[in-house]
Amino acid sequence: MIGRILSDYGMVLVLIALCVMISLLTIEEQTPSPETGAEQLLQQVARD
């Protein structure tokens, strides 16, 4: 039964595993540039 599932969906499982692995390896905190950060802050202040 497991062999049948792997033969039917093996490539899909490999592609999903690759996507997850690449996503986990490339996660990092992103900080906005000073200009973008200032724009975001102004938008938040304007809403409040």
**How far apart, in Å, are the Cα atoms of 27 and each of 15, 21, 46?**
18, 10, 31
Q: Domain residue spans in the chain?
A: 1-27
Select from 18, 3, 47, 22 the least CA-distant residue to 39: 47
Per-residue pLDDT at 46: 92
pTM score over 0.75? no
Dihedral class, residue 31 (left if φ above 0, else alpha if ψ from -120 to 50, else beta): beta
Residues 1-48: pLDDT tens digits?
888 888 889 999 999 999 999 999 999 988 878 888 899 899 999 987
